[in-house]
Chain A
């Protein structure tokens, strides 16, 4: 059971690392993958910096969590993902954005996995 959880969390960590690195290597493809155009000028700087940095950090946190066995890394990554899902819902309900149900679902599932990881895989548990 713990092994399966480790693998699932590890794969999600690698996924976020790839998504983050893609903003550095192929920003237009990365933007398209998230349903947005690649912006220009200062907007592009913010887009590449914020989104790329967010995904890369998320991936690194998950790898730190798995390697160190510290619950705080699992929890930090889960918190980030839950907040992303919450802000997606806010964008939909308050500002007329599309309801990205699939993305929200993935984010919540991974956040739950990370919460489970904090309980079962960490040495602090």
Chain B
């Protein structure tokens, strides 16, 4: 405690340039990691490195984030609501009606200042190795947003074994190194490579003694779910018990660990299939899909361990604070029958196989189905893209020797926009005001979690503060222990509900009828949030998955149309000449 206060005091009173005493910051972001996917949160998966960080740090049991990656990343790096930051949705999912608006481009706006810019100005080295997904054109890459050294993926995801797009909407996997298009090495595996890059960045400039901010947004465990064989093998047979058993076991373990209340309940999602109705062969295949997922999580944990070992060997660990979190809940986009003929043909069109034997290896496509995604977020309802807790509540661990949180758990509500102000406070960096460099910018909206230093059982946000949220038509508003939530059909019911998420994180008991005054008051607060943040409605027939396909066709189709027009323009003179020649030949005098 005294260490932290003195650290903050030293940082705050320091000159504009950060000194050697300023703490290094490592911000690790998993992709689509479910709420109970770590051992410290109740998982059966082997995550010793992250569990150790939790034992030495503070585990957040009530941390939230937008339910999709780019909005979450925008808020993480700026502390500003995603609608104000220009990323209210991932660009691949924005419908044309919304794309007309400047703040609905899915690209990080120039009206927000990134954490990297602020820390760079403070004298920090700033690095990123991993998924960016906040803009892919020149001027939108992290090299232009405060990061000194970069190796990034600009897309929503990509293959983990080679430079290959995972969806037909991309022509190629768009990797960039220090602002230039980059090629991946032959021996690429995403978690290993990104960790190596981070270590190289830190090592290359450590001699000057300046502190660093290293942002490490892994591809793990985004689709395609892929892992090295040795990690997959460790989960052989583990998931043969099926998704319901895993969801129940994690629920019990999370209760035992004190991550969720002992009396909390859970619902069974309508998308969860009957495990016992599957044939033994199907059960074996489904279990392998989840084993690959677990192997991918463990491979990420292993590589975080390598980074920590390096920091220790380099004598940097003692002055480094590590943040670990996920951008949203587990993704449930895997087809229930990934191994059947239509799914195999679809994968084949993208150059992938889905065979059991090499599932998860190079050339193989894998994703977990909704039934296992529901287990990954146990005991929460819904998953990625939805405003249920399964999409929004994610792990967060803050750890490091400069802090003296020893394995404590906080149940304080926190939001992803709180992390940037927290890092600014830890490094003694002033937050941006309303103007910067003569230009109007959005002030940070999040709150530092540092009050939890003195009191982990305290709160970060006052109980009367309302925090609104909207993404692709799914919406929520948090206030104290309460949350109103709206999930669109067909998986959601297109109705608002009220839950006490402190006591009932599984969102099993709707309190809207019991507490109508609170319900109406929060609905009113949400309407004010919509107006204040210029939230646009989605079209009535909006379907996020269909929109991804349409936007992809539009992006690629535009080039095909241009190509066709040019081809027509080039060949037309030949056709006309040929026709005229034939005509003159026919009308000529007979021999």
Q: A residues touching B (Cβ–Cβ < 8 Å)?
A: 14, 17-18, 21-22, 24-26, 28-29, 32, 37-38, 40, 60, 63-64, 66-67
Contacts and interface: CB of A to CB of B under 8 A. Distances in A.
A110 to B, nearest CB: 18
Q: For chain B, which range describes its interface: under 10, 10 to 19, 20 to 34, or 35 or more residues?
A: 10 to 19
Given A29-B171, A63-B574, A40 B567 contact: no
Given A38-B181, A63-B574, A18 B563 contact: yes
A29 B563 CA distance: 12
A26 B559 contact: yes
A28 B570 CA distance: 22
A26 B570 contact: no
B562 interface: yes
State the main secondary structure of chain B at its contact with A: helix
Contacts of A60: 570
A67 B570 contact: no
Interface in B560-586: 562-563, 566-567, 570-571, 574, 577-578, 581
Contact of B567 (A21, A37, A67): A21
Contacts of A22: 563
A32 B172 contact: yes
A38 B176 CA distance: 13
A2 to B, nearest CB: 15
Given A67-B578, A67-B581, A28 B171 contact: yes
B180 A25 contact: no
Nearest to B570: A17
Contacts of B171: 26, 28-29, 32
Contact of A14 (B172, B559, B562, B571): B571
A17 B571 contact: yes
B566 A67 contact: no
Interface string B158-201: 00000000000001100000001101000000000000000000
A59 B213 CA distance: 54
B567 to A, nearest CB: 6
B65 to A, nearest CB: 33
A24 B566 contact: yes
B574 A67 contact: yes
Contacts of B559: 25-26, 29
Contacts of B577: 67
Among all A-B residue pairs, the 5 with the closest Cβ atoms: A63-B574, A26-B559, A21-B566, A29-B171, A25-B563
B172 A28 contact: yes
Contacts of A28: 171-172
Contacts of B570: 17, 21, 60
A98 to B, nearest CB: 14
Contacts of B181: 37-38, 40
A63 B559 CA distance: 24
Contacts of A25: 559, 562-563, 566
Contacts of B578: 66-67
**Residue of B183, B562, B567, B577 contacting most chain A CB atoms (<10 Å):** B567
A114 to B, nearest CB: 16
B288 to A, nearest CB: 32
Nearest to A22: B563
6 contacts: A14-B571, A21-B566, A22-B563, A24-B566, A25-B566, A26-B171
Interface string B267-306: 0000000000000000000000000000000000000000
Nearest to A59: B570
Contacts of B562: 25
Contacts of A26: 171, 559, 563
Nearest to A31: B172
